[in-house]
């Protein structure tokens, strides 16, 4: 590990994920945000400028338009690559694949998001499951929000020797708040046409040993996803054993209905009250009192904040591919501390540590 | 069966279920709607009067108020009981229990809805599963919309010798359209606090042999419920075998995503286009092309129209308790014909028979 | 007027408006529905076939695809035009303009809907305001749902000599139920970018004397529009005078909050209970008890069922352009009777006439 | 003004408004938050504790329950009053009136919120309109979110000599996000039963000279209110004159559709991006490019963040009643700076000053 040098990070694509990655990078003591790039020239870029971020235009042809909209442009994608050790690509689905050549041409490490295919990078990343394999690689893919949550939770059960197979129903938020003025669904439920849905196989791209089948449905809300699971355990277990297995992950939060956290809107408000930027929930929030074990079967539900859950993973992926930190646990600890995530074992509303003043 | 005499039916409670039961009774050749009763004195009663229904006031003390609102009142609950052979109680949850004494005092048969407890009647009704046991009884309870759908679908698999156990996630509509101006949920998902939810045990009140566990969540839409199931079969089976088992029920409709029936709003519009009164879907609508069989496991999803699914069941329950028809299949056939439901084996949008002109 | 001969009507475009026009034509004693045409080959066409309608394919190239989907195709657009005296074009916005040449080439009368421009037909139609000018014309345009409601209500005030100027805020439903699984808005309000919105000038295309300015905003519901108006009267008036002026229109329904009709979902349920096909509200529903007159100012609100309000107008437009009926009042009366709309002067939930048994 | 001493503030009621007032007080250099009080014992209080706030129980009888839920309780309402110079009452509607006796008994200044009646305090507060009258008073009432926005905007027009009369339609969010899992409305619009609605007269409780009539409707979203106005000016004016009049208020923000701020969800996301805690929009956000002037008439729309708009007003009210600052402009400037609100004249997304790093 090169302690003497901060990692210079560029973020390409300043949308829902990109802006959170930029904020999170800026909070790491071992990283520096060298700039962000996007093609838009509206309030989103003005907000980036007001945050003090250097703004780049991925296409040279867009520079003039952005400047005429009053945005100070620091350069184009080549300039951003020049300034960075690693690029986090947060461009819309399918666009990243087109950017890979530019990243390679500049000789830069890069990280893609879960909208891209496993094959594009050859490695899929969830810190607790596949950090080691990413160390020093040219690139990795941080898997999608749904897949990340599956690997975290089923992975925790697997590490405790409890997981035989898991069957899940995934309720997916229809669109994100910032773009909910178009493209949403109203007063309906939209099943994914295919069973199994793609999240099961995607989880296996991180851990091929997971026996997991998923079904998915789009629901008319914007706050996040909600997963319901029926799990076949390897043996009869107690609820206490299962909770211990889950609490061993520092990226799982055990919450309680009887603390008043009765619905996903309440969990979001709680995160906002707790002081998380944008009310972000980086953890998988499992309802501890709802979770039920019956003999060899286990049933539970959790919330996934689709805008936030991959942010700590992305930070860890930066340390992995740059080789700045070879120890997964050490990186996870650094990230968690910078993002004020709970220490391992923290549980429920009343036991979260105080945010920094 | 007494062919020479129509069954005189009274409906107590003219809400979402009550008004549909009234309409359905009026369409049966072997039944006569002698009147409906409700305590309200607003547009709902005006609409009943305009339909030509005789309106009764369950409480004598409400008669004056209803008359001063311009509603012609034919009498009170005692008068309605006098005129009827059987009462279908569609009053709000928990109210029916209080009415039972009046029904018994008048010596009338009665039918309760699924909001009431099994113990109140000692018999729970789904026509395809428990008709025989209700014949000639004083009363029965038509189970709730969710439970009805579970017994129909899992029952069909069981009759084909395919069902070992089933684990379901139930997405429940938050409120009905007519009362969605208060009491709804907005932009959130609300898990039921307890796993398992009550629907599994409730299905066992009809068929104790069903091995079924359910989890439930309230979702922000008003159109109906959507169930997702993971089923353990008794043996490896083909998809064709499973579909055949399901299609053997005349109250299951196999629909297809690739007919464009891609979401529950579309299914409702289709039912409206098809000419069903109020766009009612009496059947469980299973997506045939989404259903998947993998070895001994089966995965599928279906829509439940919570306002409509129990209507044919209630009609059958009337024939059962009055003893007007002792043969379950005969009653189901009569009801299906009167409500223009598909014959056994009808499948998909293109194969529904024409409604009557 | 040619009493001896029914008007043969073809409907091109079988969507939200087209299917309602088809149903309404089929209910008129002086009209015959010769067929409907659409390019789709899914549940929508199966439903049309099941209704017994003859289905045409507007494009010859689509015939094979429709037949392979199991739809019996009676011919193409040329065949439909051959069979019809008049075509009602209900194709999506902007498409109709392209069809006009075909209608003219076939020498057929035609009617466009409000998505098209006034200039395309040179005449804009609302029965109570501009019927006379359409008699015997080659074509007319039935204005949009919002515009129709404006001309009906402000027109009624104008005919009573009460209207000076009107300023309205229009809350527009974001999408229709059948397509609410895509393209909707969620948990937001979307103002129209321009004030005034286009509905004011559009109303003037029917009646240039109306002094009307509108502002519009998209709201996250699918049931219909809601308009709020501040009206400057020509003189101080009583509420009774204003109500009399409005009740003089047979296409305005005065409803009451204190009948329990407290929100637009309740009004829709009431229409469904009342027996209207698809729960359609053909009238402008003005809340009588909410309406307020203060000196020379008047404030009121009404609901517009955007899927239904233009249906009676379209039926009248058919009689006008074909010259089958030269007297506006006579046509309106025929249409109203066939659609079971209230007679002039009918008011509130309790005073609607009974639907036919 | 007593420069040497900070104002000790207690907040009674830690809900949507109370928690924001607490945060805002904590950011003022001349104030100290001595504690908050609430009766609940769930996640909301845990979050307050985690923020480092001292928690009081308004009822002595609740102390034990709160402590057993793990909440450290600093005392009861009497203790909080002892520690404070002034109490901001943010309890639910109608509760505050019951608390007034306790505040008076303790000889403390107090501030009520807009759910209470004008008569309870005898003074209604909007900083730009009625600060002077509140200086040194025992108490005042910060008017509701809707009323605050009306007084700010119409007040700005009035001060410029432009306002004759204003007629508004108010679209009100149905419920707040944190409680949207119950009590909301779904897929409907709910008109307020009475026209005029109460906001017009309420604005006159602050400025009796305003000629204003309002109509209101509940809409199915949780983000904020949206007002549409038709204004009669005192004379023909230019758009530039009107914008200048509005921009003279430091609590009005002129935003632009063509900056991409096209809907209320986008404005909220922008505020979040901009770094405002909880994404709060303290200003009235008027769409500058939508605003239209036609001769002596003016039409415009603005967004009101109902959770945030009264926060700066409440801070000013604290300074007024305590007499800590007698100059309205000076207090407004201090509050604006502490909350990082724009300086007078700042306009549009691109011209907001940077938040503090």
Query: Distance, in angstroms, between D184 CA and closest chain B CA?
Result: 5
| Between residues B24 and C355, the one the model is more confident about | B24
For residue C224, pLDDT over 90 is answered with yes
Question: What integer is the mean pLDDT of D243-271?
Answer: 96
Reference C271, options B176, B43, D160, D281; nearest CA is: B43
By Cβ distance, the residue of B43, B274, B354 closest to C349 is: B43
User: What is residue D354's predicted lDDT score, i.e. its pLDDT?
Assistant: 59
Say whether B196 and A230 touch across the interface (CB within 8 A): no
Which chain D residues are Cβ-neighbours of C297 within 8 angstroms?
167, 213
Q: Is it the case that residue B1 has pLDDT exceeding 80?
A: no
Min Cα distance C324 → chain A (Å) is 42
Tell me how close the Cα of B296 comes to any Cα of chain C, in angstroms: 33
Q: What is the mean pLDDT of chain D?
A: 94
Asked if B272's CB is within 8 angstroms of C40's CB, the reply is no
pLDDT confidence of C353, banded at 50, 70, 90?
low
pLDDT grade, residue C354 (50/70/90)? low
- The residue-averaged pLDDT of A25-35 equals 98
User: Region B345-356: what's the mean pLDDT?
Assistant: 55
pLDDT tens digit sequence for A244-286 = 999 999 999 999 999 999 999 999 999 999 889 999 999 999 9
Q: Is residue D289 scored above 90 in pLDDT? A: yes
For the segment C46-71, the average pLDDT, to the nearest whole number, is 91
- Chain D contacts to A (CB-CB under 8 A): 19, 40, 42-44, 46-48, 50-52, 69-71, 177-178, 180-181, 186-187, 259-263, 265-266, 268-270, 272-275, 278-279, 349-350, 352-355, 357
% of chain B residues with pLDDT over 70: 95
pLDDT for position C222? 98
**Span B187-199, average pLDDT:** 98
Q: pLDDT-derived band of residue C342, with 50, 70 and 90 as boundaries?
A: confident
**B118 CB contacts (<8 Å, ≥6 apart)?**
B124, B141, B202, B205
**Closest CA relative to residue D165, chosen from D200, D195, D206, D130:** D200
D135-179 per-position pLDDT tens digit: 999 999 999 999 999 999 999 999 999 999 999 999 999 999 999
* Mean predicted lDDT score pLDDT of chain B: 94
Look at residue B342 in the predicted model and tell me its pLDDT.
Answer: 73
Interchain contact, C185 vs A185, CB within 8 Å: no
Subunits with 3+ C-beta pairs closer than 8 A to D: A, B, C
Of the partner residues C186, C265, C273, the one whose CB lies closest to the CB of residue B181: C265
Q: Encode pLDDT of D38-70 as tens digits.
A: 999 999 999 999 899 999 999 888 888 899 988
Nearest by CB to B70, which of C181, C261, C350?
A: C350
Reported confidence tier of residue B192, pLDDT bands at 50, 70, 90: very high
For an interface test with A, which of B181, B191, B196, B256 has the most A Cβ atoms less than 10 Å from its Cβ? Answer: B191
Report pLDDT for B351: 58
A118, pLDDT greater than 50: yes
D193 with C299: Cβ contact below 8 A: no
How far apart are the CA of B193 and the nearest CA of chain D, in angstroms? 13
ipTM score for this prediction: 0.96
Rounded mean pLDDT of C221-241?
Answer: 98
Residue A341 distance to chain B (closest CA, Å): 24
Distance from the Cα of residue A315 to its chain's centroid: 9
Helix (H, G, I), strand (E, B) or coil at D184: strand
Q: Does D42 contact A260 at a Cβ distance shorter than 8 Å?
A: yes
Q: Does the structure show a pLDDT above 50 at C1? A: no
CA-nearest of A334, A318, A305 to A113 is: A318
Q: What are the tokens at C107?
A: 């020498």
For range A39-45, the mean pLDDT = 93
- Domains of chain D in start order, with CATH, are 7-143+311-338 (3.40.50.720), 145-309 (3.30.360.10)
pLDDT confidence band for D352 (50 / 70 / 90): low
Strand pairing report for A190-191 and C284-287:
unpaired
Chain B residues with at least one Cβ partner in D under 8 Å = 174-175, 177, 180-188, 190, 220-222
- pLDDT band at residue A1 using 50, 70 and 90 as cut-offs: very low
- When CB atoms are compared, the residue of A180, A188, A190 closest to C187 is A180
Q: Which of C19, C50, C352 has its CB closest to that of B352?
A: C50
What is the distance between the alpha carbons of residues A62 and A64, in angstroms, rounded to a whole number? 6
Q: Spell out which residues of chain C touch residue D193, defining contact as CB-CB under 8 Å.
A: 257, 262, 289-290
pLDDT of amino acid A346 = 46
| pLDDT tens by residue, D293-303 | 999 999 999 99
Q: Give me the pLDDT at residue A65, please.
A: 87
Give residue A166's pLDDT band: very low, low, confident or very high (50, 70, 90). Answer: very high
Q: How confident is the model at residue B186 (pLDDT cuts 50, 70, 90)?
A: very high
Find the residue in D nearest to C221 (Cα): D187
D182 to B185: CB separation less than 8 angstroms, yes or no = yes
Tell me if A195 and B291 make a contact (CB, 8 A cut-off): yes
Interface test with chain D among C167, C170, C171, C189, by most D beta carbons within 10 Å: C189
- Residues of chain A in contact with residue D48, where contact means CB-CB under 8 angstroms, are 273
Strand bridging mode D297-304 / D292-294:
antiparallel
Q: Which residue of C lies nearest to A223 if distances are taken between CA atoms?
A: C187
Yes or no, beta carbons of B349 and C46 under 8 Å apart:
yes
- Per-residue pLDDT reduced to its tens digit, A296-329: 999 999 999 999 999 999 999 999 999 999 999 9
Closest to C273 (Cβ–Cβ): which among B47, B187, B263?
B47
Give the pLDDT score at A56.
97
Given this model, what pLDDT does residue B61 score? Answer: 84
% residues pLDDT > 70 (chain A): 95
Cα-based distances in Å from B209 to A278, B205, C99: 50, 10, 62
Q: What is the 3-state secondary structure (H, E, C) of chain B?
A: CCCCCCEEEEEECCCHHHHHHHHHHHHCCCEEEEEEECCCCCHHHHHHHHCCCCEEECCHHHHHHHHHCCCCCCEEHHHHHHHCCEEEECCCCCHHHHHHHHHHHCCCEEEECCCCCHHHHCCEECHHHHHHHHCCCCEEEECCHHHHHHHHHHHHHHHCCCEEEEEEEEEEECCCHHHCCCCECCCCCEECCCCCCCHHHHHHHHCCCCCEEEEEEEECCCCCEEEEEEEEECCCCCHHHHHHHHHCCCCEEEECHHHCCCCHHHHHHHHHHHCCHHHCCCCEEEECCCCEEECCEEEEEEEECCCCCHHHHHHHHHHHHHCCCCCHHHHHHHHHHHCCCCCCCCECHHHCCCCCC
Per-residue CA distances from C241 to A281, C303, D183, D263 (Å): 59, 21, 39, 40
Test mutation, D184, D190, D225, D230, chain C, max C CBs within 10 A: D230
Query: Which residues of chain D does A275 touch, with a Cβ-Cβ cutoff of 8 Å?
Result: 50-51
D183 contacts B182? CB cut-off 8 A: yes
Query: Where does the pLDDT of residue B65 fall: very low under 50, low under 70, confident under 90, or very high at 90 and above?
Result: confident
Sorting pLDDT into bands at 50, 70 and 90, what band is B353?
A: low
Model pTM? 0.97
Find chain A residues with C-beta within 8 A of B196's C-beta: 292, 299
Distance from CA of D250 to the nearest CA of C (A): 24
CA distances from B73 to B21, B66, B68, C273, D82 (A): 20, 7, 10, 19, 63
Minimal CA separation from B73 to chain D, in Å = 29
Q: How far is CA A316 from CA A128, A345, D191, in A?
A: 10, 20, 51
Distance of CA A86 to the CA centre of its chain: 18
Give yes or no for residue A227 having a pLDDT over 60.
yes
Name the 3-class secondary structure at A296: coil
Q: How far apart are CA B180 and CA C263, in angstroms?
A: 9
- Distance between CA atoms of C12 and C35, rounded to whole angstroms? 9
Residue C313 has pLDDT above 80, yes or no: yes
3-state secondary structure of D112: strand
Task: For residue C177, list chain A residues with Cβ-Cβ distance below 8 A.
Answer: 187
Residues of C in contact with D194 (CB under 8 A): 290
For residue A215, list chain B residues with Cβ-Cβ distance below 8 A.
228, 299, 301
Residues of chain B in contact with residue C303, where contact means CB-CB under 8 angstroms, are: none
Q: How much is the pLDDT for A62?
A: 87
Report, as an integer, the average pLDDT of C346-352: 54
pLDDT, greater one: C284 or D352: C284
- Residue A70 zone, left/alpha/beta (φ > 0; ψ -120 to 50; rest): left
pLDDT mean across residues, chain C = 94
Q: Is the pLDDT of residue D2 over 50?
A: no
Do the chains contact at C189 and D263, CB–CB below 8 Å? Answer: yes
CB contacts < 8 A (A, D): 107
The alpha carbon of residue C285 is apart from the nearest alpha carbon of chain D, in Å, by: 13
Contact B187 A222 (CB under 8 A): yes
Pairing of strands D284-287, D292-294: unpaired
């Amino acid at each position: 590990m090169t302690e003497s040098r901060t990692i210079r990070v560029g973020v390409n694509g300043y949308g829902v994920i990109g802006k959170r990655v930029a904020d999170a990078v800026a909070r790491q003591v071992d990283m520096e945000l060298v700039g962000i790039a996007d093609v838009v020239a509206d309030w989103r870029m003005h907000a980036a400028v007001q945050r003090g971020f250097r703004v780049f235009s991925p296409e040279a042809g867009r520079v003039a338009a952005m400047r005429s909209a009053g945005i100070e442009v620091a350069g184009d994608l080549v300039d951003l690559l020049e300034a960075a050790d690693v690029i986090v690509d947060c461009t819309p689905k399918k666009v990243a694949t087109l950017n890979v050549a530019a990243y390679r041409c500049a000789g830069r490490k890069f990280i893609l998001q879960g909208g891209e295919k496993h094959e594009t990078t050859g490695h899929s990343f969830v810190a607790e499951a596949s950090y080691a394999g990413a160390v020093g690689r040219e690139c990795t893919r941080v898997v999608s929000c749904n897949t990340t949550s599956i690997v975290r939770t089923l992975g925790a059960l697997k590490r405790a020797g409890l997981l035989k197979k898991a069957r899940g129903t995934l309720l997916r938020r229809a669109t994100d708040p910032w773009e909910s003025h178009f493209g949403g669904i109203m007063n309906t439920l939209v099943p994914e046409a295919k069973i199994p849905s793609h999240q099961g196989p995607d989880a296996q791209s991180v851990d091929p040993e997971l026996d997991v089948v998923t079904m998915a449905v789009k629901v008319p809300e914007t706050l996040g996803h909600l997963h319901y699971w029926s799990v076949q355990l390897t043996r009869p277990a107690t609820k206490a054993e299962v909770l211990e297995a889950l609490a061993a992950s520092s990226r799982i939060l055990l919450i309680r209905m009887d603390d008043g956290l009765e619905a996903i809107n309440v969990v979001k408000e709680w995160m906002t009250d707790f002081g998380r930027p944008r009310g972000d929930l980086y953890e998988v929030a499992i309802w501890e009192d709802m979770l039920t074990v019956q003999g060899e079967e286990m049933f539970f539900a959790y919330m996934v904040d689709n805008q936030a859950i991959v942010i700590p993973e992305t930070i860890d992926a930066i340390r992995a591919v740059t080789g700045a930190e070879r120890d997964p646990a050490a990186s996870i600890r650094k990230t968690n501390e910078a993002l004020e995530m709970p220490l391992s074992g923290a549980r429920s509303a009343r036991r979260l540590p105080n945010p920094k003043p």
